[in-house]
């Protein structure tokens, strides 16, 4: 199972979702606080399981 990694900078933070092999699957927007970044992670966890998979040619 993948993991969420929070990366902090002088201006705030963002998170990346990494697969078990370390590959970055997704990168978030920039958040001004770690608390709002964690809320973004919870939103992805809550909403992603029901996301439809669509293939585009």
Would 54 be classed as within a structural domain?
A: no
Does residue 52 lie within any of the structural domains?
Answer: no
Q: What percent of the chain has pLDDT over 70?
A: 100
What DSSP assignment string belongs to the chain? --EEEEEEETTEEEEEEE-TTS-EEEE---BSSHHHHHHHHHHHHHHGGGPPP----
pLDDT average per 10 residues of sequence, the chain (57 residues): 91 93 94 96 86 76
Residue 57 inside a domain? The answer is no
Residue 53 lies in a domain: no
The answer as to whether 32 is a domain residue is yes
CATH code at position 34: 3.30.160.160
Residue 56 lies in a domain: no
pLDDT at position 51, please? 74
Question: Residue 15 is part of which domain span?
Answer: 3-46
Residue 48: the pLDDT is 79
pTM, two decimals, is 0.81
The pLDDT assigned to 18 comes to: 92
- Would you say residue 55 lies in a domain? no
Counted domains in the chain: 1
């Amino acid at each position: 199972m993948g993991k969420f990694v929070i990366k902090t900078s002088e201006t705030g933070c963002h998170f990346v979702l990494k697969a078990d092999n370390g590959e970055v699957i997704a990168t978030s927007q920039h958040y001004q606080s770690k608390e709002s970044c964690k809320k973004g992670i919870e939103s992805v966890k809550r909403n992603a399981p029901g996301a439809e998979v669509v293939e585009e040619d």
